[in-house]
Structure 1
Amino acid sequence: MNETGLSGEEIRSFLEASKGQDLKYERVLSSMCTYPHRVAVEAHMGFIESNMGDFGLFKGTYDLEKQVIGSLGQLLHLPNASGYMTTGGTESNIQAIRSMRNLSTPGAWCERPNIVVPDSAHFSFDKVSDILDIELRKASLDANLKVSVKSVEALIDKNTIGLVAIAGSTEFGQVDPIERLSEIALHNDIFLHVDAAFGGFVLPFIDDIHEFDFKLAGVSSIAIDPHKMGLSTIPSGVLLFRDSEQLEGLKADTPYLTVSTQYTLTGTRSGASVAATWAIINYLGKEGYRKTVSGCMELTFYLLQELERIGVYPWIEPVMNVVALKVPEPDLVRSRLAKEFNWQVSITQNPHCLRLVIMPHVTAGMIDSFVRDLNEVLMSLNVPI
């Protein structure tokens, strides 16, 4: 820290230079985030001082949060859902499993408690295991990259406190057989958490019907991220519980605040992201989200059409706007696309594919340009596709 401060002009100049080093979303095909909607940005800037860690001071912002919970609960077939706004899927997943552990009777598991998750689960569940000292049991996937029900059943024992299902897996955008997992959870009297951080703002707005939410009796909690396909500002996540008792399982006393209890993982929380999320879900409504998702899906199928012209095909037919492509030497292809054309794509692990996410910032022109550059890279490799 300098003895004297910089001028406003120096600050602006330095920040502009730093911003200039960031990759623009127009070259990003790997991220599940995008530019937030202007309505969300405007709302965010109006609430930057609001601290939801002590929401007794910011009752208006707290009321907005309650309305967000009600709106998303209604979207996911439980208008009276309990929950709160988190920083995103990772925090939501940690808190959902923490609630499971806290509400499970210790005598019900004789040794270390465990949860069963798909092998496709987000890496946040590895953090869950480390933080909460819970054994993580990973169930294998079937040929369609959904979790194998038989594998899940084989991993459940007397120490299992819950299951996890994915509605829009990070690598492949696939949806697990959640209806079957709901039945298994009910049969074993254990919790079922659904990680719909990405898919929660996609699946309700596509034609294909996927049963994944509170309509299924065995689903006990859901993570959904407004800062992904919800077009809100970062960080905006939501954790919803079927039963208010599950939220109570996270209670901590806060004697020096204006409120006596917190249920959140973080203390200080952004009221700005609360306002941004309230603004965008009320501005767009279901009709607006349907249009946004439809546009992304149309571009996803346009991408597949153009890739077919150069002999590149997906590993599985996309369920949503996430595409995994079969290409030779995917790590090398990814590296060449970045170094030679400044494209940011990602890699899946098993199977090893090139991964693209077609977010609202993607255009047909971007896709045309990307396909040309990908074809040039593949042609230069001189390897059969």
Structure 2
Amino acid sequence: MSGTEADTGSLTLAEQYLTQPAPVRRIPEGSLTPRAALHILQSEVLLDGDPSKNLATFVTTWMEPEARTVILENLHRNFIDHAEYPRTAEIANRCVRMLHHLYNGPGEPEAPGTACAGSSEGVMLGALAMKWRWKKARETAGQATDKPNLVYGADVHVVWDKFCRYFDVEPRQVPIARGRTVVGPDELEPHIDENTIGVVAVVGTTFTGECDDVLGIDALLGRLRSERGLDIPMHVDAASGGFVFPFSHPEFEWDFRLESVKSINVSGHKFGLVYPGVGWLVFRDEEQLPEELVFYEDYLGERDATFTLNFSGSSALILAQFYNFIRFGREGYASLVRAMNTNRDALAARLGEEDALELLSGEPRLPLVIARVRDEEDFTGTDLVGELAQRRGWMVPAYEMPPDNEGQQIMRMMVKINQSRELADALADDIHVSIADLRKRAAGQRVKRPVHRGHGY
């Protein structure tokens, strides 16, 4: 070996592997050691934000070690292989039955729904069921089926627009009136007709965490049945609220207690407290699923019925959902929701003292704080969240409200179970200092840029 050449046996892992750019376009020609590959990947994701400071996402960012063990031990278990893993299939059905009971569904059906990859798949499947039931009723009556429409407010998740585009349904999206944040029967009624396959109500919107007027919409649909003969179902998008309001507001009637509610989707990976992605579609009864949408096939030795958009997928997160159900029970979920709401209220109380901010209120609401910078300030919500990101790495979204409310920028701060009172107080402290600095800069004063530091000062 020459004096300029190094013996590869004497090179450290850092010099051998970590001094080269990461592969970005082509699979590398050679192999790495497991340790080197792990280090390279870990160094990349360090550039992401800290999930514990992510107040933007509704998605679960922490699970206890035993739950992570459930996930790790079952990642290789393919959920679709019901013949090979019949107990896993039974556990998934147990989860659906438990949710059906939690949502006050009538009777004791065996399989009133299905596990999904997330609430987006649940929305697609629930809306498809509504479309096919509408189509069958129209065909039976000898009426045209070429112009289905779906009625919903502009406070819905984008997945509802996707469904309409992908499955050829006219989207009748109702604007949110200026000064309002949710929709009710008065806004929806003018858009409903004999071609309406269903009406969507949101319980826990992504914009403000509030709920559409589900009771009022149910009354409207009941009146349309009796007065005009329009039998139109309601689907409740409870992606976020479905694991909150049964525990925080059990008297709140939004579920199968209402006659018009025929299907509900909920995200297990939000307040169901499971890592992404797992969701659930729950029907009022088994009659809500048209037989034409169920596929029967002989697969791996067993004739199996499936109602999914996906096929292969890990059972790990479905089993983790069942773990949570038996681990926490109703009392445990209620306690966790109370804890989140307690810290939410503490954060809201602190921010309510800031004269630069206006807080949006209203109940029932998800465990989050909604605030906006007052119009008279010389900085925006975007400026404030930028300061927070620089100061301590907080991830807080600032965004515009739906159409007809454009120009109404708000900030949303989600408070989850892994975000303690100490973190809530630290965030309030940083917001206070950031507002002071932004005001000084607006007044022409020289202010040092915030230094990104850890949790404690």
Query: Would the aligned equivalents of 1:195 and 1:223 in 2 still touch at CA under 8 Å?
Result: yes
Question: Would you say how many aligned residue pairs link Structure 1 and Structure 2?
Answer: 384
Please point out which of 313, 328, 343 is paired with 1:299: 343
What displacement does 1:96 show?
0.8
Select between 312-321 and 193-202 the one with higher mean Cα deviation: 312-321
- Does the 8 Å contact 2:184/2:214 carry over to 1? no
Give CA-to-partner distance per residue, 1:276-300, whole Å, 9 cap, x none: 1111111100011011000000011
- Once the two structures are superposed, residues 219-254 of structure 1 have per-residue CA deviations (whole angstroms, 9 ceiling, x without a partner) of 010011121111123211011111323333532343
Secondary structure of the structure 2 residue equivalent to 1:46: helix
| 1:32 partner letter | F
Query: What is the letter of the counterpart of residue 294 of structure 2?
Result: K
2:122 matched to which residue of 1? Answer: 92
Identity percentage of aligned residues? 26
Q: After TM superposition, give the deviation of residue 4 of structure 1 in Å.
A: 3.9
The whole-number CA distance in structure 2 between the counterparts of 1:349 and 1:154 is 26
Partner Cα distance (1:40, 1:246) in 2: 33
Question: What is the Cα deviation at residue 112 of structure 1?
Answer: 2.0
Aligned to 2:437: 380
Aligned to 1:322: 368
RMSD value, Cα: 2.1
Change (3 A) 1:348 1:3: closer
**1:275 matched to 2:319:** yes
Structure 1, residues 314-356: CA drift from partner, whole Å, max 9, x if none? 1223523122102141222223322343211113422321111
> How far apart are residue 208 of structure 1 and its match?
6.6
The secondary structure found in structure 1 opposite 2:80 is: helix
Q: Which string of whole-angstrom CA distances, capped at 9 and with x for unpartnered residues, describes residues 110-158 of structure 1?
A: 5421111111011111111111111111224465522131111111012
- Contact between 1:92 and 1:223, CA under 8 Å: does it hold in 2? yes
Q: Which residue of 1 aligns with 2:58?
A: 32
1:185/1:270 CA distance change after superposition, 3 Å:
farther
SS in 2 for 1:55: coil
> Matched residues in 1 for 2:115 and 2:40: separation?
33
Q: Is the 8 A contact 2:210 2:362 kept in 1?
A: no
In terms of fraction of residues, the more helix-rich structure is 1
1:71-112: CA deviation from partner (whole Å, max 9, x where unpaired): 111111125361111111111111111111122125455542
2:409 to 352, 355, 358: 352
Query: What pairs with 1:192-231 in structure 2 (closer than 5 Å)?
Result: 192-207=234-249, 209-231=251-273
Q: Distance in 2 between matches of 1:251 and 1:360?
A: 38
Whether the 8 Å contact between 1:25 and 1:361 is mirrored in structure 2 is no
Q: Which one of the candidate residues 49, 58, 64 is aligned to 2:85?
A: 58
SS in 2 for 1:324: strand
Larger Rg: 2
Is the CA contact 1:250–1:264 (under 8 Å) kept in the aligned structure 2? no
Instruction: After superposing the two structures, state which structure 1 stretch, 194-203 or 100-109, moved more.
Output: 100-109
1:245 and 2:291 are equivalent in the alignment: no
CA distance in 2, matches of 1:192, 1:374: 41
Give the whole-Å Cα distance in 2 for the aligned partners of 1:39 and 1:120.
Answer: 37
Unaligned runs of 5+ in 2: 1-26, 375-379, 402-407, 444-457
In structure 2, relative to structure 1, the CA distance for the partners of 1:47 and 1:287 (3 Å cut) is same
Aligned AA (1:252): F
Q: Which amino acid aligns with 1:128?
A: F
Structure with higher RCO (Cα < 8 A, 6+ apart): 1
